[in-house]
Chain A
């Protein structure tokens, strides 16, 4: 499903080249639940964004279902991302001036879904995450946990086959974090491929496969 072939990623930092990923080859099969751990700055988030078509490698290839993601034009990549990939961010990245309902409608709008179906789908998804009574609340009017649940509902709007979660519990209290991990586990059980970057060893254990990023290389945890 997802494959990295000899991927290298360098950053230029004040004139110095910093190599974050060094000839990484990795395969993540359909329906896998993979956790990626490693120290800060080890390139976990870089790896995740690269899998999501948001960051091109300096060298090597990123393949999704056998298709080289970065050989596509940017707009084609955006369409591919919309159809296949769902992101869960540590900071939730909700649009602050839209209500919970509207935030969930955004991916549907981008997919060209009509108003009525957008609303129906968004109401149903927010119901699944227990926020039926918060449809018209803006993110600032919701608790942190509720915000992450809105983000999860939004991620599911286009029914992605791949879920890329970046520290999904990093900003949450233990109980809410537990619920989010349960939710990701459910997604995996329903056949989705989940890749989760985390600092939390307990969260990492929930995955079926755990990887460690160290010195630019990916090794089994």
Chain B
């Protein structure tokens, strides 16, 4: 099992999902969390560089793990942020058939989307972000940091 002792927020790395230009913000977010949806919309409007890191609190939002996996699967086909935007825009439709609908609307290859989102590799990728958040002391979502790892 992994080490979960305190550690600084990891700096932006090659694995990260980054969108936009300029001064960056690192956001640990739960795709099932309404507060995160509101903050996401606000951050989008501010047009800054944003790094999305997965922080599903599964006990609180049982669908979150599936939603985070769906974004990674979409990302494998180049549509990570589009899927994030889509999920945050509509929390009422997050069951599997709705995910397939979203995937189709984004032009994703459905069979590959399904295989990817259920894969161990995707689960591990999501878990890596989650654990970095735990180590950085994230206790509620969204948790926003600047690129130096300070709370923003």
Q: Indicate whether A and B interact.
A: no
B→A interface (CB under 8 Å)? none
